[in-house]
Amino acid sequence: MFEIKGRFGVHGGQYIPETLMNAVIELEEAYNRYKDDPEFNRELIELYNEYANRPSRLYYAERLTKELGGAKIYLKREDLNHTGAHKINNCLGQALLAKKMGKTRLIAETGAGQHGVATATVAALMGMECVVFMGKEDMERQALNVYKMRLLGSEVVPVTTGTGTLKDAVSEAMREWTRRISDTHYCLGSVMGPHPFPTIVRDFQAIISREIKEQMLEKEGRLPDAVIACVGGGSNAIGSFYHFIGDKDVRLIGCEAAGRGIDTFETAATINTGRLGIFHGMKSYFCQNEYGQIAPVYSISAGLDYPGVGPEHAYLHDIGRAEYVAITDDEAVDAFEYVSRAEGIIPAIESSHALAYAKKLAPTLSKDKIIVVTVSGRGDKDCAAIARYRGEDISE
Amino acid sequence: MSRITEAFKDHKAFIPFITCGDPDLETTRACVLEMVKNGADIIELGIPFSDPTAEGPVIMEADNRALKSGVTTDKIFEFTKELRKEVDVPFLYMTYANVVFSYGTEKFMKAASEAGVSGLILPDVPYEEKGDFEEICDRYGVELISMITPASNDRIRMIAKEAKGYIYVVSSLGVTGERSDITADIGSMVKLVKENTDVPCAVGFGISSPEQAGSMAALSDGAIVGSSIVKIVAEEGANAPQKVGALVKAMSDAVHKAS
């Protein structure tokens, strides 16, 4: 609705080496050919429903609502998807597309490991080779996911360059793609990178808001007042927002990782602290120094620990359609524990950023208001790290 | 004829690359002077970037060392301006889009031009995105260099038609760094370029020996060498200039003799 040749306002574009240009052009052509193809969509929906356990539930969090004493809170349960996060929506779509394009090998970057596990899963399902790039620091933070990817038959390549986190994993995956393009599809995990990735990933994640809308109309007979989701690159957020963008009365709220605070250097809150730049194939907001060197960002959440944000979010921010708030490590960890106890749902530390904001917002709204929070993933993977954060050393 | 294109007039051109400020600007200066003394025809000066996605490990690490040493875009402008007084061969900057964009594209080009820089290479700005940069480059007499690669295929014609300075022919898929073999059909790529423009072609990425430099120059109008030089700087630090000079001598002799 907003894009002209891969642009969202001034954001987006294709800032990549010439070596990759024909690859992204080929991808765009294939996507345009298949996106409205009934057979492709039938196959994809069948995978969503039969394999990934869609549609995901829209759950009325009654205890949370009562305890907070304000707006009615619904949770969009992407954590109940196969592989435990929203990432599978995108991976199934891209892998199916890659197969139609005759590709036999998938490569991917991963931060928390959720996208890596989802890519490894679909690669196993579709009989494709798979290589996942993961920052060395993240491999330590998320050792269980590394094991899962290998169990699923993928190779996991430790990335030691730069800060050894998500940003460096993206850079290494891009470098690998320039080495080998003929049989390889880069299964990018978020709404970022060069066109057409931000559009493709958004379209595959838009199932989230399509379902929220239908489920909310069915349960409440009206649209929600606010939709809240966490934002790293921004794929679960854009998926949660997309079908509400035209509904001006629905507030769209993205929750960035403030790390130790947006007034510190240990933050990953791109929209709140970054400025316009060009990196990883796109024009968007980035955390950077005065000379355009990309900043080493920090968040307790490996999945939000990224110095940029998807171009469509940058645009929604520019036009004031979506709000972007910053949530600290402390607030996210509190929400992680709070929601676990209040609802018996252990949310991913990424999703806990969205829940933390809901916890602040709900009491300020009247009881006739409705907010939806996307629980983008489950928190099992985070338990050891949160225990450590609380000073308890447990082995997995 | 532009200053860059003129460097190809009498013979094939040898184009060495060095990262500014690795490990410090004094060493870079001494290396550049050695390069000029030993036959370099054009010099590519790298402005380091924190996350150079088109580079292999050698240049990536050089960028890290340079940034750690505290070098900045402003310091490099100042450095280039001083060096320009001693050196006559054309300079190009090689860096990434964000370094230029974030500095302010216009402000960057003005400073580059005042520092006596004739061209700019931005490996993450393909044909489709060059507009915003090229228009400002043109205004300040800085030629924006176009790249073609073995994956460019039918794009070569379109790119060549608008190329300026020289065309950077990327020898192989992948990132920068030494390779023992270059298997792409460079001859066919160059032929396609020549059907569409008079702008000279120089081959780079992966050239590690004088023999390779000579054979790549024989297929085109020149050879570009980066990682092999940067590797010497990594190993020798402040003692690198003489060894860099010796390598440049061997490479430029091979290139100048190539036909």
- In which band, very low, low, confident or very high, does the pLDDT at A396 lie, cut at 50, 70 and 90? low
Chain B contact for A239, CB < 8 A?
A: no
Buried b (16+ CB within 10 A) or exposed e, A51-87: ebebbbbbbebeebbebbebbbbbbbbbbbbbbbbbb
**C-alpha separations of A124 from A117, A145, A149, A181, B128 in Å:** 10, 15, 10, 20, 36
For helices B25-37 and B227-236, angle between their N-to-C axes, nearest 10 degrees: 130
Does any domain span residue A249? yes
**C-alpha separations of A169 from A270, B41, B74 in Å:** 18, 37, 30
Does any domain span residue A2? no
- Please tell me which residue of chain B has the smallest CA distance to A10: B132
Which of these, A312, A337, A355, lies nearest to A78 by C-alpha position? A355
Domain count, chain A: 2
Compute the mean pLDDT over every residue in chain A, rounded to the nearest whole number: 96
| CATH code, B70 | 3.20.20.70
Q: Which residues of A are catalytic?
A: 87, 109, 376
Mark which of A175, A201, A227 sits at the end of a domain.
Answer: A201
Q: Which residues of chain A have a CB within 8 Å of the CB of B60?
A: 161
**A245 with A210, same domain?**
yes
Smallest Cβ–Cβ distance between A179 and the set B74, B128, B173 belongs to B173
CA distance A30 to A348: 34
**A261 with A331, same domain?**
yes
Does any domain span residue A1? no
B165: pLDDT strictly greater than 80: yes
Mark which of A201, A220, A254 sits at the end of a domain.
Answer: A201
Residue A127 vs residue B184, higher pLDDT = A127
A1: pLDDT strictly greater than 70: no
Does any domain span residue A295? yes
**A379 with A293, same domain?**
yes
**A213 with A138, same domain?**
no
Structure tokens at A357: 């904001």
Structure tokens at A332: 């996210």
pTM value surpassing 0.90: yes
- Are the Cβ atoms of B125 and A15 closer than 8 angstroms? yes
**A79 with A91, same domain?**
no
Percent of chain B with pLDDT over 90: 93
A328, β-bridge pairs: A259
Smallest Cβ–Cβ distance between B50 and the set A23, A290, A293 belongs to A293
- In which band, very low, low, confident or very high, does the pLDDT at A4 lie, cut at 50, 70 and 90? low
**A248 with A382, same domain?**
yes
The pLDDT value recorded for residue B175 is: 85
Smallest Cβ–Cβ distance between B101 and the set A14, A23, A277 belongs to A277
Q: What is the mean pLDDT of residues B51-55?
A: 94
Domain count, chain B: 1
Best probe of the B interface among A5, A11, A14, A19, by most B CBs < 10 A, is A19
**A32 with A66, same domain?**
no
Element (H, E) at A238: helix A235-241
Q: What is the ipTM of this complex?
A: 0.96
**A68 with A120, same domain?**
no
- In which band, very low, low, confident or very high, does the pLDDT at A391 lie, cut at 50, 70 and 90? very high
Angle, vertex CA B45, rays to CA B196 and CA B237, nearest 5: 140
Mark which of A201, A232, A258 sits at the end of a domain.
Answer: A201
In this structure, the strands spanning A7-8 and A11-15 are antiparallel
Read off the pLDDT of residues A67-95 as tens digits, 9 standing for 90 and up. 999 999 999 999 999 999 999 999 999 99
Q: Please say whether the beta carbons of A304 and A254 come within 8 A.
A: no
A2: pLDDT strictly greater than 50: no
Does any domain span residue A395? no
Of A293-297, B97-101, B183-187, the range with the lowest mean pLDDT is B183-187
HSE (side-chain half, CA atoms, 13 Å) at B4: 28
Does any domain span residue A252? yes
Residue A334 domain boundaries? 55-84+206-389
**A34 with A157, same domain?**
yes
**A218 with A312, same domain?**
yes
Percent of chain B with pLDDT over 70: 100
The pLDDT value recorded for residue B106 is: 98
Percent of chain A with pLDDT over 70: 98
**A139 with A274, same domain?**
no
Read off the pLDDT of residues A345-388 as tens digits, 9 standing for 90 and up. 999 999 999 999 999 999 999 999 999 999 999 999 899 889 99
Read off the pLDDT of residues B190-233 as tens digits, 9 standing for 90 and up. 999 999 999 999 999 999 999 999 999 999 999 999 999 999 99
Does any domain span residue A154? yes
Q: Please say whether the beta carbons of B32 and B83 come within 8 A.
A: yes
Does any domain span residue A260? yes
Q: Which residues contact B79 (CB under 8 A, 6 or more apart)?
A: B20, B25, B28, B29
Q: Please say whether the beta carbons of B47 and B259 come within 8 A.
A: no
Residue B152 domain boundaries? 3-257
The pLDDT value recorded for residue B183 is: 74
A395: pLDDT strictly greater than 80: no
| CATH code, A136 | 3.40.50.1100
Q: What is the mean pLDDT of residues A153-182?
A: 94
Q: Which residues of chain B have a CB within 8 Å of the CB of A193?
A: none
**A146 with A242, same domain?**
no
